[in-house]
Amino acid sequence: MPFSIFFFFFFFFFKMKSYIWLQTVDGSIQQVEEEVAMFCPMICQEVLQTGMGSSKNYAISLPQRVNPAILGLILDYCRFHQVPGHSNKERKTFDEKFIRMDTKKLCELTSAADSLQLKPLVDLTSRALARIIEGKTPEEIRETFHLPDDLTEEEKLEPLRNITDDPRIRLLNRLYARKRKELKERKKLKDVEVEEEPKDERSVEDLLSFINGADGDMKGTRTNKNKKKNRRRKDHAKDLSSKNENENDKDLNPLPSAYHNVYFDNALEASASKHSRMQNLPAISFSPKFEFIDGDVDDDLDPAMKEELDREVEDFARRLNSDWPERMQILSLGQDRRLVPISINSNGSTHLYTALAGNSISKVSGS
Amino acid sequence: MQILSLVDDQTVITASGVCRGWRDAIYFGLARLSLSWCSKSMNNLVLSLVPKFVKLQTLILRQDKPQLEDNAVETIAKCCHELQILDLSKSFKLTDHSLYELALGCRDLTKLNISGCSAFSDNALAYLASFCRKLKVLNLCGCVRAASDTALQAIGQYCNQLQSLNLGWCDNVGDVGVTTLAYGCPDLRIVDLCGCVRITDDSVIALATRCPHLRSLGLYYCKNITDRAMYSLAHSKVNNRMWGSVKGGNDEDGLRTLNISQCTALTPSAVQAVCDSFPSLHTCSGRHSLIMSGCLNLTSVHCACAVHAHRAFTTFPHPAH
């Protein structure tokens, strides 16, 4: 019993799915799904008007320009496009891949699609051919399409000749060719220059050590901090007027807002520079106020204070290391997003300034 | 030819020098050509190319610097008998001889742009109108000598299919010419009279009563226009609606663009009447089609949607109020 049901459905399915018979110029006959074949207006017209195509004996004779190979391509196109479910993006992608073929085949396809009145395919192939032709000299067009060079020298110049025999017009085609050559050469030169640009080939470990201050930057910072603490202690000891105290506080403030803006601009300029080795790295630097000054020694600090400062610096380094993967992720977002100076406050907290170029600066603080 | 219709005109000309097959296909198949890209030798190019392209229907010869001379237009007239669209704008060097030649050679012209061709006379334009009777679009902007009442009377008499006419800054145009035009060309849809300082209400009344399909009217700087003209336009909608019910016209007919900038004699009530009569006229920012710049006394005029928006705003005040 189940076998008979299966057989019934099998038979029913094949009965329902109707086909159209098509005959190409070489005499070969193909059986094509009706909905695919009917996508071609010429075939559709033939079926509706004459009733042809229903059997092998009454196959629809296709125009001379439609050979079996090209018919296969056309049917592939129809199979995809007659399905209503595809998005515009899918159709576009299919079309782009579909027309990737040699010029000869593209010409044959255009001609065949035209004879089958398949307008969307004619438009598609025509656009592709137009792109091939545009900007070429007659010589290049002849080469591309394997056309005969059957015009005399006089006839070749005729389209661009004028009554006064203006040499500018007469040699317009040749000028185009020369210009294109020059452009190609320039492009080659540019490519060579780009290749010669210095590249940052340091490993992640090297970069990490650079950021963590292995080059001595952190030491400098520590000294600055010690110096500042020392200076602050001395300031507190002195009996100064409130005005002077305010001024000192201002001095200790790591980066005034105006300074941040200038710094941000400089960082953007630096990152935009083509030949900078540090093009894609965050600019990590400190306020000039904190620069290491020779002769400043923190020997007079008591050991407890020194230990506390060491701990603070280590803590900062650890935080920097833990932030590193996140920071790398930000960097990988591209050049639009740039990390701009990390400054160290007098209280040991950090300000990390990140910005989208041209947008407002967002401030991430850590203490 | 479909492939060549997708490439620029320089490529088409280049392609005609590839081989005999391509050359013949282009020479006998090309219907549209633009030489506006040619900045130096357009005249010579026309002289050498146009005789080959015998099936041309559209020829665009706009120039930034005047290059075309009468011999080029003469060649066009003698070779392109199927020409329908011709753009000769800014051809300062052309004289009446060009118009006489075009009149005899290109009788199928439907669109002619001779804006900025200041050397043409009204007699030559009248002669052209008497031969090119299929004209539907005519741009005479800046043709101060050519666009006179005499020329407009000839256009009104012969070019009965005219649908669009630009008379911008033709300050010799008067009521006689515009009135004759309105009577002779009932199919007029676009009329630009910007800067025609001599015209009065009579011209607008003639257009309002005689041109039921009028969609766009430019009256910029027409200082003599008064409320009488506006009420005539507003009233024309009623008349046209009666005709529409007989002929099966739709409610969307009527003015869609009206420029009355610098028409300082107009009052708000008259302009509001026009605005109320034609729903397609808008003062709201998104669909600005009733242009009233320079008329400080007309700030109270609003289209229906602006009024609705205002009402909605006053009915449901902002929660902060």
pLDDT tens digit sequence for A280-290: 434 444 344 33
User: d(Cα A65, Cα A24) in Å, to the nearest integer?
Assistant: 9
Please name which of A254, A215, A232, A250 lies closest in space to residue A342, comparing C-alpha atoms.
A254
Identify the pLDDT of residue A194.
60
Q: What DSSP line would sit under B127-173, residue for residue?
A: HHHHH-TT--EEE-TT-TTT-SHHHHHHHHHH-TT--EEE-TT-TT-
User: d(Cα B277, Cα B206) in Å, to the nearest integer?
Assistant: 18
Q: Is the pLDDT of residue A74 over 70?
A: yes
**Distance, CA of A110 to chain centre:** 32
Question: Which is more confidently placed, A356 or B180?
Answer: B180
- Write the CATH number for A26: 3.30.710.10
Q: Which residues of B touch A126 (CB under 8 A)?
A: 2-3, 6
Provide the shortest C-alpha distance from residue B21 to chain A (in Å): 9
Do A78 and A178 fall within a single domain? Answer: no
pLDDT tens digits, one per residue of A289-304: 333 334 444 445 567 7
Among A94, A117, A149, the domain-final residue is A149
User: d(Cα B88, Cα B117) in Å, to the nearest integer?
Assistant: 8
Among A149, A179, A209, the domain-final residue is A149
Do A317 and A274 fall within a single domain? Answer: yes
Question: Which is more confidently placed, A347 or B114?
Answer: B114
CB B147 within 8 Å of CB B178: no
What three-state secondary structure class fits A355? strand
User: d(Cα B210, Cα B182) in Å, to the nearest integer?
Assistant: 6
DSSP type of residue B133: T
Among A96, A115, A149, the domain-final residue is A149
Identify the pLDDT of residue A274.
35
Do A69 and A183 fall within a single domain? Answer: no
Identify the pLDDT of residue B154.
98
Residue A363: band (very low, low, confident or very high) from pLDDT cuts 50, 70, 90 = very low
Q: Is the pLDDT of residue A255 over 90?
A: no
If one counts the domains in chain A, the total is: 2
Q: Is residue A241 part of a domain?
A: no
Q: Is residue A156 part of a domain?
A: no
Identify the pLDDT of residue A157.
66
Do A331 and A187 fall within a single domain? Answer: yes
Q: Is residue A100 part of a domain?
A: yes
CB A339 within 8 Å of CB A270: no
Q: State which of A227-231, B13-17, B57-61 shows the largest mean pLDDT.
A: B57-61
Please report, for residues A128, B144, B241, B312, the alpha-carbon distance to residue B168 in angstroms, rounded to integers and kept in the order given. 43, 9, 30, 40
Q: Is residue A161 part of a domain?
A: no
Q: Is residue A47 part of a domain?
A: yes
- Parallel, antiparallel, or unpaired: how do β-strands B111-113 and B85-87 relate? parallel
Please report, for residues A309, A312, A366, B4, B152, the alpha-carbon distance to residue A347 in angstroms, rounded to integers and kept in the order given. 11, 10, 11, 73, 87
Do A77 and A181 fall within a single domain? Answer: no
Q: Is the pLDDT of residue A247 over 50?
A: no
Nearest beta carbon to residue A141 from set B15, B40, B44: B15
What three-state secondary structure class fits B192? strand
pLDDT tens digits, one per residue of A315-362: 656 555 565 455 445 544 544 433 444 444 444 444 443 443 443 434
Those residues of chain A whose CB sits closer than 8 Å to some CB in chain B are 110, 114, 122, 126-127, 129-130, 133-138, 141-142, 147-151, 155-164, 166, 168-169, 173, 176
Q: Is residue A291 part of a domain?
A: yes
pLDDT tens digits, one per residue of A191-213: 666 655 555 555 666 666 666 66
Between chains, do B3 and A110 touch, taking CB under 8 Å as contact?
yes
Phi-psi region of B82 (alpha: psi -120 to 50; beta: other; left: phi over 0): alpha
Do A258 and A356 fall within a single domain? Answer: yes
Q: Is residue A245 part of a domain?
A: no
Between chains, do A155 and B2 touch, taking CB under 8 Å as contact?
no
Do A73 and A185 fall within a single domain? Answer: no
Between chains, do A163 and B44 touch, taking CB under 8 Å as contact?
yes
Do A189 and A106 fall within a single domain? Answer: no
User: d(Cα B283, Cα B83) in Å, to the nearest integer?
Assistant: 40
Provide the shortest C-alpha distance from residue A152 to chain B (in Å): 9
Provide the shortest C-alpha distance from residue B15 to chain A (in Å): 6
Do A82 and A187 fall within a single domain? Answer: no
With a pLDDT cut of 70, the percent of chain A lying above it is 39
Identify the pLDDT of residue A84.
87
Do A116 and A175 fall within a single domain? Answer: no
Q: Which residue of B has its CA nearest to A164?
A: B44
- Domain of residue A53: give its range: 2-149
Q: Is residue A257 part of a domain?
A: yes
pLDDT tens digits, one per residue of A152-182: 876 776 655 443 344 544 455 555 565 656 7
Residue bearing tokens 């600090």: A301
Do A178 and A144 fall within a single domain? Answer: no
Do A328 and A180 fall within a single domain? Answer: yes
Q: Is the pLDDT of residue A228 over 80?
A: no
